[in-house]
Structure 1
Amino acid sequence: MSYTWQYYDLVLLGIVVSLGSGVAVGQFTALPSTTTVPVAGLVAIAIMGHGLFVNGPVDAPRDLAEEVETLN
C-alpha cells in the first residue's frame, strides 16, 4: 500500500521548507538571520492562509452554518 500525498500534507511541508530555508539562507549566506527568518515566516503565513481561506477544509460555505449538537 503506497501513501498518496494530500493537499494539507503539502501545506505542512511548505511551512517547514519555507522556515527551514529561511534559517539555511541566514546561516550560509551573508544575509542576516534576523532578515531571512521573518521573510520565510511571511511565506509560511501565505501558505497557511491559502490552506485556510482559499482552499479551506470545508466543501461549501453551508457546511459552516450547521449547528454543533455537542455544544447545545
Structure 2
Amino acid sequence: MSYTWQYYDLVLLGIAGSLESGVALGQFTALSSAVTVPVAGLVAIAIMSHALFVNGPVDEPTDLTDEVTALN
C-alpha cells in the first residue's frame, strides 16, 4: 500500500521548509539571521493561516456548531 500526500502534509512541509530556508539564508548569505528568520516566520504564518481559514479542516461552517461529546 502506498502513501498518498494530503494537503496538511504539505502544510507541515511548507512551515518547516520556510523556517529552514530562513536559517539557511542567514547562515550562508550576507543577510543577517535577525532578518531572514522573522521573514521566514511570516511565510510560515501565511501558510498556517491559509490552512486554518481558507482551506480549513471542516466541510461547512455548520460543522463548527456540532457538540463535542468526547469531553463530557
Shared topology, TM-score over 0.5? yes
* Structure 1 residue 29 corresponds to structure 2 residue 37: no
Kindly report which structure 2 residues correspond to 1:1-72, keeping only aligned pairs within 5 A, or say none.
1-72=1-72
Q: Partners of 2:37 and 2:55 in 1: how far apart?
A: 26
User: Which deviations, in whole Å up to 9, do the C-alpha atoms of 1:25-57 show, x marking residues without a partner?
Assistant: 000000000000000000000000000000000
Normalising by structure 1, we get a TM-score of: 0.95
Give me the CA root mean square deviation: 0.9
Q: Partners of 2:13 and 2:71 in 1: how far apart?
A: 34
> What percent identity do the matched residue pairs reach?
79
Normalising by structure 2, we get a TM-score of: 0.95
* Structure 1: 4+ residue segments shifted above 6 A: none
Structure 1: 5+ residue stretches without partners: none
Q: Partners of 1:5 and 1:17 in 2: how far apart?
A: 16
Deviation at 1:66, TM superposition (A): 1.1
Deviation at 1:67, TM superposition (A): 1.5
| Higher fraction of helix | 1
Give the length in aligned residue pairs.
72
